Structure 1
Amino acid sequence: MSSSSQEKDGPGKCSRIVGFTFALLAAIGWALGGLLAKYVKDAGADDFQFARSLLQFIATLPILTYRKEKIFQDDLKTNLLLILRGLTGVGGNWFYFSSIKFIPLSDAISVTSSYITLVGLFACICLKERCTVIEALLSILTFVGLVLVARPSFLFGNLASESAGDLMIGILLAFASALCTTASFVIVRYLGSGIHYSITMLHYSWVGVIYSLASAGSKGTLRIPCMDDLLLVSLAAVIGIIGLLFATVALQKENAGPVAVVQSTQIIFALILQLVFLGYSPRLTSLIGSLIIFFSSVALTLMRIQYSGKQEQNVDTK
């Protein structure tokens, strides 16, 4: 009786505390990874992507071997979607680390975190999932936050005159990261739970290794970074993988909605870290825009939790 009632009521109290703790640790870890990227002098996004992909490949291979999972599936469509998920995941990571070189850490994380809102819109369009008027309004509010962070010159005039070119490049790169992450999430939703997470992680890894080597080779930057940069890049990659593992544990212990709310706090952690370690105080518009994106993401996620709870109640009463 205890096990059946626990399944009905959802995760237990202890399980939820563990889930929230690991989700919070994942958010802190990802913010720390971005902070480390700020200290790197010569290494670029290709170096970060290569280190992350290679270490993740090494970490994932034993899991696949132990579980005896097939790397490639029986049907062509699923294999193409897995490769596409790898490409979009790699693109999201590469664009994110590229944007950090042009804009403050908190701005990059804020714009990238807009994927929380974008996933709902793309799932509504591509997967025909439910999308209410309030969710659409929250998506518009997120766009307002993005505009405040980007501060385009045609709206803010001289306010964006300082390093306007770098700012716009960084914002576009961060938004491209959000779009790639959104596409990655939609693909994972479409694939469903039938594909083990280690399979998608391995496809991300080999695609990332090939892409980073090809990108660095085409630009003539294929080299081993200096020792200081190599240590920072490797540490950022390890923190990224640990953050992913923490997020996976969090999702196993708690529902996806609350985990997404907790993980969106990386925006707040980024604001604190760049103030403490980099001595950078964000502009008022950037601060307001980041908070708007954060609160709209939280509100949207809470709405989805409430809706899913009502659906479960309706099922139970039938």
Structure 2
Amino acid sequence: MAQKVTQQTTGKCGTIVGFFCALLTAFSWALGGLLFKYVKEAGADEVQIARCLLQYILILPILAYKKKNAFQKTFQTNILVLLRCLTGVASDWVYFSALQFLPLGDVTSVTNTMVALVGLFACICLNERCSIGESLLTVITFVGLVLVARPSFIFGKTQASSTTDIIAGFLLSFGGAVLMSLSMVILRKLGSGVHYSITMFHYAWIGLVFSLVSSAIKGTLRIPCKYDVMMVSLAGVTGIFGQLFVTLALQKEKAGYVVVVQSSQIIFALILQLAFLGYFPTVTSLIGSLLIFFSSVFLTLTRVRSNDRKETNNEVVSNASSRI
């Protein structure tokens, strides 16, 4: 009896820890976007370089302590790990690039449509079923996406000087959502057999090479001023903490519930940009952001309930077969 009470208490503590870690993940990523808004001259490449250098330095001792081999035994697993890191690096780079054109809240909202895109890609790539309710919530998500993007052929022309920025920012944000959803699908295909330190190690060197090549091609490879160095370093640190917190959250709680709490990044972004940047979104952007947030939450909860029912049915079947 005492052992059962202890297990229940441990389970509740794990759930609480997982909830707060997921909440800290959302806040860390929103804070990283806010810090990047204060950068004067540096761009997405500099943020990625700073983050990857810091992550590389921090992850090497963990990799050595855990005695983990950086490369896996099978060729397919290595390819999946590299693809997961490459899509993750590209999505982060696109996210920071989009922040140069759109407000923090809009970029965060468009990026969080990845919840709907993950289900869409899972249906196509992994042959997973999609219910009518999930399809309806996906449609609502894309309605919110249209409200945030505010295309001129629906809402008419806005300020002429900002039309190009809106289009560029929207395309970059949506591209980040697509890349992030592909990364999640690859991670689901990969499973939990690969230690997080291995993924973070490959992310670090791939991100470093990616950003150096990108900045060299664009001709923007330079050392930023001291102020920008401080800001991009802080933005890089928040990214590392976000990745660490989401790893801890996934160890304590189911992925579906983690995604639900992580969607609060939209709310954090709207609050931070209002408090520190003094920017209040337009009515259409605010409605679109809230539609994306609530549809993402309900979409994830629907999938979690569906998975729980499947697990319960499997347990009933296995128990019945064991009695026979």
TM-score of the superposed pair, with normalisation by structure 2: 0.93
Partner of 1:235: 234
Partner of 1:246: 245
- 1:11·1:254 contact (CA, 8 Å) conserved in 2? no
Q: Do residues 281 (structure 1) and 297 (structure 2) align?
A: no
Partner of 1:109: 108
Partner of 1:38: 37
How far residue 12 of structure 1 moved from its aligned partner, in angstroms, is 1.8
Q: Do residues 13 (structure 1) and 25 (structure 2) align?
A: no
- Structure 1 distance, partners of 2:75, 2:133, is 38
Partner of 2:322: none
Seen in structure 2, the aligned counterparts of structure 1 residues 295 and 160 have a Cα distance that, compared at 3 Å, is farther
How far residue 162 of structure 1 moved from its aligned partner, in angstroms, is 5.3
Q: State, as a whole percentage, how many aligned pairs show the same letter.
A: 59
Report 1:106-185 matches (<5 A): 106-159=105-158, 161=160, 163-185=162-184
- 1:152·1:160 contact (CA, 8 Å) conserved in 2? no
After superposing on structure 2, the runs of 4+ consecutive aligned residues of structure 1 that deviate more than 3 Å are 1-7, 159-162
Partner of 1:54: 53
How far residue 130 of structure 1 moved from its aligned partner, in angstroms, is 2.5
Count of aligned positions? 317
Q: For residue 204 of structure 1, what is the amino acid of its counterpart?
A: Y
Q: Deviations over 1:44-102 (max 9, x none)?
A: 01001111111111222222212221212233222222221121111100000000000
- 1:153·1:161 contact (CA, 8 Å) conserved in 2? no
How far residue 312 of structure 1 moved from its aligned partner, in angstroms, is 2.2
How far residue 229 of structure 1 moved from its aligned partner, in angstroms, is 0.4
Seen in structure 2, the aligned counterparts of structure 1 residues 11 and 283 have a Cα distance that, compared at 3 Å, is farther
Q: Do residues 204 (structure 1) and 203 (structure 2) align?
A: yes
Query: Secondary structure of 1:43's partner?
Result: coil
How far residue 316 of structure 1 moved from its aligned partner, in angstroms, is 2.6
- 1:118·1:182 contact (CA, 8 Å) conserved in 2? yes
- Structure 2 distance, partners of 1:208, 1:251, is 23
- Structure 1 distance, partners of 2:81, 2:206, is 10
- 1:11·1:253 contact (CA, 8 Å) conserved in 2? no
Seen in structure 2, the aligned counterparts of structure 1 residues 139 and 191 have a Cα distance that, compared at 3 Å, is same
Seen in structure 2, the aligned counterparts of structure 1 residues 257 and 160 have a Cα distance that, compared at 3 Å, is farther
Seen in structure 2, the aligned counterparts of structure 1 residues 131 and 3 have a Cα distance that, compared at 3 Å, is farther
Query: Secondary structure of 1:69's partner?
Result: coil
Seen in structure 2, the aligned counterparts of structure 1 residues 18 and 224 have a Cα distance that, compared at 3 Å, is same
Q: Which moved more, 1:298-307 or 1:247-256?
A: 247-256
- Structure 2 distance, partners of 1:11, 1:258, is 18
- Structure 2 distance, partners of 1:80, 1:253, is 27
- 1:216·1:222 contact (CA, 8 Å) conserved in 2? yes
Q: Do residues 194 (structure 1) and 193 (structure 2) align?
A: yes
Partner of 2:84: 85
Seen in structure 2, the aligned counterparts of structure 1 residues 160 and 94 have a Cα distance that, compared at 3 Å, is same
Q: Which moved more, 1:56-65 or 1:93-102?
A: 56-65
- Aligned Cα RMSD in Å? 1.8
Query: Secondary structure of 1:293's partner?
Result: helix
- Structure 2 distance, partners of 1:284, 1:11, is 44
Q: Which moved more, 1:157-166 or 1:24-33?
A: 157-166
- Structure 1 distance, partners of 2:77, 2:9, is 31
Partner of 1:22: 21
Q: Deviations over 1:178-199 (max 9, x none)?
A: 1111111111111111111211
Partner of 2:321: none
Q: Do residues 301 (structure 1) and 265 (structure 2) align?
A: no
- Structure 1 distance, partners of 2:123, 2:56, is 33
- Structure 1 distance, partners of 2:220, 2:182, is 29
Seen in structure 2, the aligned counterparts of structure 1 residues 296 and 156 have a Cα distance that, compared at 3 Å, is same
Q: For residue 232 of structure 2, what is the amino acid of its counterpart?
A: V
Seen in structure 2, the aligned counterparts of structure 1 residues 89 and 3 have a Cα distance that, compared at 3 Å, is farther
- 1:261·1:298 contact (CA, 8 Å) conserved in 2? yes
- Structure 1 distance, partners of 2:307, 2:192, is 18
- Structure 2 distance, partners of 1:113, 1:144, is 13
- Structure 1 distance, partners of 2:2, 2:70, is 38
Q: For residue 69 of structure 2, what is the amino acid of its counterpart?
A: K
| Structure 1 stretches lacking a partner, 5+ long | none
- Structure 2 distance, partners of 1:183, 1:10, is 36
Partner of 1:272: 271
How far residue 156 of structure 1 moved from its aligned partner, in angstroms, is 0.6
Q: For residue 103 of structure 2, what is the amino acid of its counterpart?
A: P
Partner of 2:320: none
| Structure 2 stretches lacking a partner, 5+ long | 318-324
- Structure 2 distance, partners of 1:193, 1:11, is 22
- 1:45·1:94 contact (CA, 8 Å) conserved in 2? yes
- Structure 2 distance, partners of 1:295, 1:31, is 18
Query: Secondary structure of 1:37's partner?
Result: helix
